[in-house]
Chains A and B, each alone.
Chain A
Amino acid sequence: MEEVKKEFKPQAIVEVLEDGPIKITGNFMVSDSKRDIMDSPEEVYLCRCGRSGNKPYCDGSHKT
C-alpha cells in the first residue's frame, strides 16, 4: 500500500453496533436509489437484521 498523500477529512462516523443497527452521525445524507433525499438528520440508526417494521430505520425488532 502506498502512503497517504492527502489529509483524510472524515465527514461522518459509521458505526456498526454489535447485534444491532448501523449508527451514522455527522455530515451525511440518506437517499433511496433514485437519489431523492429522504433525510438529512444528525444521527440515524439503520436496520441490519431485516426485521424492522420501519425500514430502513431500526425499530428495535432485532431484540425480540
Chain B
Amino acid sequence: MESENRNRRGRKYTNGEITVYWKPDACVHASHCYRELLEVFDPGRRPWVDMYGASTAEIIRTVNMCPTEALTWKWNDEEKNRDIDPSNTNHVNFRRPDLLKNDSSANAEPVSVKIMPDGPVVINGSFVLKYGGKEKNVDESIISLCRCGSSNHLPFCDGTHRKTGFNDN
C-alpha cells in the first residue's frame, strides 16, 4: 500500500536483489549519488539509474547517503527487510515522511547548513527563509540553495553546477 503510493510519482529500479525507489520531487541536488557512484547514478544517462553498474553493497551504501527520501531502497526478499539496522538511513523502513514529521524531538535541533563540494548548500531543519521579498516557513524540511550563480531557478539549486563545471577552488 505504502510502496504503491511511493511509486505513483517516482520510479523503481531493481537488480533482482534490491529495489531502489526514486522520487524526483524530493531531490535537492545534494549530488551524493552520482559523486559516489556514477556507474549506477548518472544524471546524463537515460535511464539514469543502472542497477547493474555496481555491487548491491555499493548501491545500498550510496543510497543511504541521500539526505532526502529521493532515493530509498529495500530488499526484494521481504524476509530480509524485517530486521534492518538503523544505520541504513534510506531503507524504506526508516525513510518515511510520516515518521519524520512526527519526530517532535527534532524540533530544537540546530539547523544543519551543509556545503556540498562543487555543489549547492543544503539546509535542513526548521527555519525562516527570506528571498525576493518573500518569507517562507521551512518546517523540519530540506532546501538546497545555489552557490554557483548559474541556476535557472535562483535562489534554489537546479543542478546546473554540474553542467557549468563549478568548483570550490
Within 8 Å CB of B127, what residues of A?
A: 10-14, 26, 28
Q: Is the CB of B107 within 8 A of A9?
A: yes
Q: Is B168 in contact with chain A by the CB < 8 A criterion? A: yes
| Cα–Cα, bound, A22→B108 (Å) | 22
Q: How far is the CA of A4 from the CA of B101 in the complex (A)?
A: 11
Interface size class of A (residues with CB under 8 A): 20 to 34
Per-position 1/0 for B109-143, Cβ under 8 A of A: 11111111100010101111111100001110000
- Is the pair A33, B114 in contact by a Cβ cutoff of 8 Å? yes
Contact B115 A30 (CB under 8 A): yes
Interface size on B, residues (CB 8 A): 35
CB distance from B144 to the nearest CB of A (A): 12
Bound together, the chains give a CA A28 to CA B138 distance in angstroms of 14
Q: Chain A nearest CB: distance from B98 CB in Å?
A: 12
With a cutoff of 8 Å between Cβ atoms, the chain A residues found around residue B112 in the complex are 28-29, 31
CB distance from B158 to the nearest CB of A (A): 14
Distance in angstroms between the alpha carbons of A32 and B35 in the assembled complex: 14
How far apart are the CA atoms of A30 and B114 in the complex, in Å? Answer: 6
Q: A38 contacts the other chain (Cβ, under 8 Å)?
A: yes
9 A-B pairs, CB-CB below 8 angstroms?
Answer: A4-B139, A9-B107, A11-B110, A14-B128, A14-B145, A46-B147, A48-B146, A48-B149, A50-B149
